[in-house]
Chains A and B, each alone.
Chain A
């Protein structure tokens, strides 16, 4: 149990991370508001460093993560693919993506209110595989309309 001043904690954070929001008054406030063990002696707040770092990092992370993925809802995923597809690639309907995500466990998805937020960067390789095969959904839709045009993607 090692007690540190807010200035010590601030200097430790500043060395590692220049963009941190940690400042001396923030550290004191965080300690007071989040139930971190501290003592006050002669107008100086001494903060229990072990408790502070446990509260700030309860999941015991050890590695920094820097990759920022593209997050989209399902309709936006389909829209992004359809707007940026290359010649010869077919359109993909959002319902195809929904069907795929029902059984898949590799792509990150999170339900926020009534929408699913999907990691588009993880989904993209799966869309490329989907693109190689004919879509039963589009074929049925074309048959209903009486369009005889082929929906198979052009072979490159």
Chain B
């Protein structure tokens, strides 16, 4: 059974910057992607929760966007 890899935005940025320290990805961009509905927006309290697989599929151009 597929289970999404859920992370907070800060954890996502830490993981991405470990691999690519000069990445353009930042907090505001991820929040913008969620507000536009490109990535599933999930929130608990004030923290946004991201599915890493969804984000990486989108950024690699493999994900279709639901409109």
Which residues does A use to contact B, with CB under 8 Å? 12-13, 16-17, 19-22, 26, 29-30, 33-34, 55-59, 61-73, 76, 80, 106-108, 112, 117, 119, 122
Q: How far, in Å, is A78 (CB) from chain B's closest CB?
A: 14
State the main secondary structure of chain B at its contact with A.
mixed
**Using a CB-CB cutoff of 8 Å, which residues 12-66 of chain B contact chain A?**
15-16, 19-20, 22-25, 29, 32, 40, 42-45, 49, 51-54, 56-57, 59-64, 66
Which residues does B use to contact A, with CB under 8 Å? 2-8, 11, 15-16, 19-20, 22-25, 29, 32, 40, 42-45, 49, 51-54, 56-57, 59-64, 66
- Residues A119 and B59 in contact, CB atoms below 8 Å apart: yes
- Residues B8 and A61 in contact, CB atoms below 8 Å apart: no
Q: How far, in Å, is A55 (CB) from chain B's closest CB?
A: 7
Please give, as numbers and ranges, the residues of chain B lying within 8 Å of A33 by CB-CB distance. 43-45
Other A-B pairs beyond A29-B45, A76-B24, A106-B61, 17, CB < 8 Å: A12-B3, A16-B3, A19-B5, A21-B11, A33-B44, A34-B42, A59-B64, A62-B2, A65-B62, A68-B20, A70-B22, A71-B20, A71-B59, A112-B29, A117-B29, A119-B59, A119-B60
